[in-house]
Amino acid sequence: MRAITHDQQGEASHALRLSEQPTPSAPAAGQVHVRVLSRPVHPGDLAGVQGFPGVPRQRFATPRIPGLEGMGVVESVGEGVRELYAGQRVAFFPVPGAWSELVTAPADLVVPVPEGVSDETAALMLVNPITLLILLRAVEDAQHGRRGEHSEHGRRGQHGQAGPVVQTAAGSSVGKLVSAAALKHDIPLVNLVRSAAGAETLRQRFPGLPTISTADADWRAQVRDATGGRGAEVVLDAVGGSLTGELAGLLDDGGTLITYGQLGSGSTSLESVALIPRGLTVRGVSIGRWMTRTPDERAEDVAFAAGLAATAPELFEVAASYDLADFAQAVDHVRRPGKSGTVLLTSPAS
């Protein structure tokens, strides 16, 4: 079978290669084989290939196959698997090795694709919606803690309402899900994007939300105006790097910076953001910790994701699709400025 592999961490365009790998043996009890048809190229996938800032790059004795999410067709099932059957369309996460043509997956991490959901949407059905839920829970936790603190000191916001939330990378796939959720749940959200063109596109998509380009010289003042001059209660940040200090400056005292990505460059020292005197909180969240939730909680999250894919497929935008053999072009597309949607890697059904 074909697979994209790497035996050391490094720049993805140099470290990755297309290779032939042995076909897995028959699935064991509780497992299924899935013939993978489509899988997304997430920024986190590329980060795993490249390594993380400050951490030495690794070499691997056995080549690794990136990817944790995808969709395909069940090829065979192991003993004891009752809910899945050969020929069934399914999505899966988190299953290592998604960038190959065949994966062996625990049956409880494989989800039937709802009737009417396209293969492209199914390939994006799990990670981004689950990330959305993780972010919404983190925002709720931050706001709940802040309201409790304000109640003790008599500084609760007007009418006890939750304060403004600012998000970076608002034009990303996850950012658009956050925007849709903000409109549905009346979250006072302010969107940040990198360019004027991106801001205009997002304003047309979500006219009820303020959208600001960080390319504008006065973007910080625009955010202040959009948050009513009080600063943000929470900032959701997928960029990090040198932007972190700027974002901390947008927070109201006692606010929370929630970081969940490293799309930016550079760095910011914690001392420079005045955490202690301003009572700020910095919290990191990661979908990598989703498996610590109980099976029932995970099942609820998966049901939400599948329902969203069935009822709002327009939120699962695909930028382009590339065959596995064209992975270098796919990686370049992921990094393309102004990209809208998620890049997919595809492979034939047989």
Model confidence over 132-179: pLDDT tens digits? 999 999 999 999 876 555 444 333 344 456 799 999 999 999 999 999
How high does pLDDT run on average in the chain?
Answer: 91
**Residue 125 pLDDT > 70:** yes
Task: Give residue 120's pLDDT.
Answer: 97
Task: Give residue 231's pLDDT.
Answer: 92
Helix, strand, or coil (residue 314): helix
pTM: 0.91
Task: Give residue 272's pLDDT.
Answer: 64
Edge to edge, the sheet with strand 2-8 lists 17-20, 2-8, 59-64
127, 40 contact by CB (below 8 A): yes
Nearest alpha carbon to residue 46 among 72, 17, 13 = 13
Task: Give residue 161's pLDDT.
Answer: 64
Task: Give residue 274's pLDDT.
Answer: 76
Min mean pLDDT across 81-85, 157-161, 300-304 is at: 157-161
Model confidence over 187-211: pLDDT tens digits? 999 999 999 999 999 999 999 999 9
Q: What is the mean pLDDT of residues 62-75?
A: 97
**Residue 17 pLDDT > 50:** yes
Nearest alpha carbon to residue 99 among 49, 46, 39 = 39
**Residue 298 pLDDT > 50:** yes
Task: Give residue 264's pLDDT.
Answer: 60
- Identify the helix (H) or strand (E) that includes residue 30: none
CA dist 55 and 236 (Å) reads: 24
Task: Give residue 15's pLDDT.
Answer: 95
- Asked if omega into 295 is within 30° of 0 (cis), the reply is no
Q: What is the mean pLDDT of residues 325-350?
A: 93
281, 142 contact by CB (below 8 A): yes
Measuring CA to CA, how many Å separate 250 from each of 19, 221, 235, 239, 273? Answer: 47, 9, 8, 15, 11
**Residue 54 pLDDT > 90:** no
140, 163 contact by CB (below 8 A): no
Model confidence over 207-266: pLDDT tens digits? 999 999 999 999 999 999 999 998 999 999 998 888 888 999 999 999 999 999 877 656
> Hunting for tokens 């069934």 — which residue is that?
88
Helix, strand, or coil (residue 272): helix
**Backbone φ, ψ for residue 63 (5° rounding):** -55, 140
